[in-house]
Amino acid sequence: MHEYTIGKSIMDTLINLKKQYPNKRITKVTIIAGKLRQILPQALFFYLDILKKDTEFSKIEFIYKEKPVKIKCNKCNKISKINELEFLCPLCGNYDIKVISGNELLIESIEVEEDKNGNKSV
């Protein structure tokens, strides 16, 4: 159920951004989450829909991108993607690895309605 907390944090960020740019309308938000965050996109969208309902954010389109887990093996020094959450080097089978990506959680981009001059502001 951490998807609700993440959705609430995203909405809080958008509310604060709207305060800074009151004449702009947010139209699209792209979220990137690493696979290790174990976010269920459907659950996140469900909570975002509830949180944005009947607000000025009700028409925002949310895009979700999952970032794969990448590891670096401390034995063979190779970087690999792993699909399963089995933390060993797929090339040499070593368990002495370092996770280098897959734990991210961020707003990648926020699109806004253009102003009179055709410039995007956020």
What would the pLDDT profile of 30-82 be if each residue is shown by its tens digit? Answer: 999 999 999 999 999 999 999 999 999 999 999 999 999 999 999 999 999 99
Which residue has better confidence, 117 or 62?
62
Residue 118 within any structural domain of the chain: no
Q: What is the total count of domains within the chain?
A: 1
Residue 88 within any structural domain of the chain: no
Q: What is the pLDDT of residue 121?
A: 46
| Full domain range(s) for residue 47 | 2-68+102-112
Cβ neighbourhood burial of 44 (10 Å; 0-12, 13-18, 19+): buried
Q: What is the pLDDT of residue 84?
A: 80
Distance between alpha carbon 94 and the CA centroid of its chain, in Å? Answer: 30
Which residue has better confidence, 61 or 114?
61
- Give, for 11, the enclosing helix (H) or strand (E): helix 2-20
Residue 42 within any structural domain of the chain: yes
CATH code at position 54:
3.30.2320.50
Residue 80 within any structural domain of the chain: no
User: Measured between alpha carbons, how far is residue 104 from residues 32, 38, 49, 57, 108 in Å?
Assistant: 7, 11, 23, 25, 11
Which residue has better confidence, 60 or 121?
60
